[in-house]
Structure 1
Amino acid sequence: MSSYKIKVFPEALDDIQKATDWYNEQSYGLGTRFQKQVVQQINKLNKTAEVYTVRYSNVRCMVIKKFPFMIHFLIEDEIVVIFAIFHTSRNPKIWDKLLKQK
């Protein structure tokens, strides 16, 4: 199994921050738990990225445990590129269009 470097797009960092803020508004500390879970799972991707199947346009998705969010990422050579983290109810075609523009 390969070991990958991790690259996180600024848009994905914004997604994390928005969700963290929202969860903290719902319940004190919940946003912090969300953020810790996301970071923990991102850190695992450097060894497990290939385990996740391609969902659309070469994009793989990892469900965030205990939260209804998914990490959307690509594998490019030896780099895992995380470009979005959003709620499972959102349409991934939004990001599909943006990826094609980059």
Structure 2
Amino acid sequence: MPRRLIVRPLAEVDLADAARWYDDEQAGLGAKFLSEVSRTLARIRERPLQFPIVWRGVRRALLHTFPYAVYFRASDDVIVILAVLHQRRNPKVWQRRAR
């Protein structure tokens, strides 16, 4: 059974900001970004342990088309999405959220 998925408020802000930025670059690109994030979240829910631990129990799933990563923690029954950030962002941004 898939685990319950909780998206932290700051991760929701990450998603909205990135989608808005992509839409400003090209109409419809924000929707494509969000669609790819949805597919990545589905992969995380199905098999969270396939993604590597990158810091103190935090795992990272990379998007295929966009240079973004989803940072999350997984337990037996729940997955908590901490951040969805561009891969060039300073790691301290998501590490602060993981504390």
Distance 1:98 1:23 in 2: 24
Is 2:7 the partner of 1:5? no
Could you say which residue in structure 1 is the equivalent of 2:58? 59
CA deviation after TM superposition for structure 1 residue 3, in Å: 3.1
Amino acid at match of 2:91: P
In structure 2, the partner of 1:42 is 41
* Structure 1 unaligned regions, length at least 5: none
Alpha-carbon distance in 2 for matches of 1:38, 1:99:
20
Secondary structure of residue in 2 paired with 1:41: helix
- What TM-score results when the alignment is normalised by the length of structure 2? 0.92
Higher mean C-alpha displacement, 74-83 vs 24-33: 74-83
Quote how far apart the aligned CAs of 1:58 are. Answer: 0.8
| Residue-by-residue CA offset, 1:35-80 (whole Å, 9 max, x unaligned) | 1110121122111100011001211000011000000000133111
Moved segments of 4+, more than 2 Å: none
SS in structure 1 at match of 2:47: helix
Could you tell me whether the CA contact under 8 Å between 2:82 and 2:97 is conserved in 1?
no
Please say if residues 58 and 98 of structure 2, whose CA atoms lie closer than 8 Å, have aligned partners that are also in contact: no
The range that moved more, 89-98 or 19-28, is: 89-98
Q: For 1:8 and 1:98, how far apart are their aligned partners in 2? A: 12
Deviates more, 1:74-83 or 1:28-37: 74-83
Partner of 2:84: 85
What is the RMSD of the two structures over their aligned residues, measured on CA atoms? Answer: 1.3
Write the letter of the residue equivalent to 1:30.
L
Gaps of 5+ in 2: none
| CA deviation profile, 1:8-44 (whole Å, cap 9, x unmatched) | 1111111010000000000011111001110121122
Check the 8 A contact 2:69/2:85 in 1, yes or no: yes
Distance in 1, matches of 2:32 and 2:9, equals 21
Aligned-residue identity in percent: 27
